[in-house]
Structure 1
Amino acid sequence: MAKILIVDDAAFMRMMLRDILEKGGHTIVGEAENGKVAIEKHKSLSPDVTTMDITMPVMEGIEAVKHIKAADPKAKIIMCSAMGQQNMVIQAIQAGAQEFVIKPFHSERILISINKVLGA
């Protein structure tokens, strides 16, 4: 199973994602509350997959994706967005994200997205 980095400014969302992913058999190698911390943790933890919130303080998700992909072109990133952020989802895909899931999270959809980016 995959080593996953969870990035979301809301602790509750990180906790929900952690629960879904661990129940799905994955390992959470780290968490970050903004894009700046996500870039640092991605470098040090080398996760198989990163889940990335779009709207965060300090540095938003799309900017973080650009930095991560520049440093690691093979990085696998799944964007997490609220309803009504389709515009940002398109920007995220253009920045290098492979997949996206809409909040509120549905565990089945999250696990399907993880397997999809892993090529499973």
Structure 2
Amino acid sequence: MDVQILFVDDALFMRRVIRTALNECGFENLLEAADGDEAIRIYRESRPGIVLLDITMPGKSGLDVLDEIMKIDPEAVVIMCSAIGQEKTIEQAVRKGASDYITKPFKSTNLAGIIKKYL
């Protein structure tokens, strides 16, 4: 599938898991960022069709990055990735413009299902 997806997570292991899950589901046009500043820079340069954004990161949080992306493009498709127990933060992200969310750990088929809703 040719949609470009940017995924953002400070944990290298999680970025590898996400890349593998996306590849297994046929997504190959992938960009990745390890922190919020890198995510914003890549978003400005590439304007990916979908962003998978971790909520909890050092430095700029996922909510901060979401704010910046929404300023750049209010129609951006941003799917927040959260750990179990972050329901209030997820609600806040949706109010700020997030399109959807997925809770970690997740199955690749669940991730693909959410992404396909926005293609």
**1:36-115 alignment, distance < 5 Å:** 36-115=37-116
Tell me if structure 2 keeps the 8 A contact 1:77–1:97.
Answer: yes
* Superposed displacement of residue 101, structure 1: 0.4
**Higher deviation after alignment, 48-57 or 66-75:** 66-75
Q: Number of residues paired by the alignment?
A: 118
Tell me if structure 2 keeps the 8 A contact 1:22–1:28.
Answer: no
Cα distance in 2 between the residues matched to 1:90 and 1:106:
22
1:19-39 deviations in Å (ceiling 9; x for gaps): 111111112432111212111
**Higher deviation after alignment, 65-74 or 80-89:** 65-74
What root-mean-square deviation, in Å, do the aligned CA atoms of Structure 1 and Structure 2 show? 1.0
Letter in 1 for 2:78: I
**Higher deviation after alignment, 3-12 or 24-33:** 24-33
Q: Which residue of 2 aligns with 1:13?
A: 14
Q: Which residue of 1 aligns with 2:25?
A: 24
Aligned to 1:25, the other structure's residue is in SS state: coil
TM-score normalised over the length of structure 2:
0.94
Cα distance in 1 between the residues matched to 2:37 and 2:67:
12
Superposed structure 1 runs of 4+ greater than 2 Å apart: none
Tell me if structure 1 keeps the 8 A contact 2:25–2:109.
Answer: no
Task: Give me the identity figure in percent.
Answer: 40
Cα distance in 2 between the residues matched to 1:93 and 1:18:
24
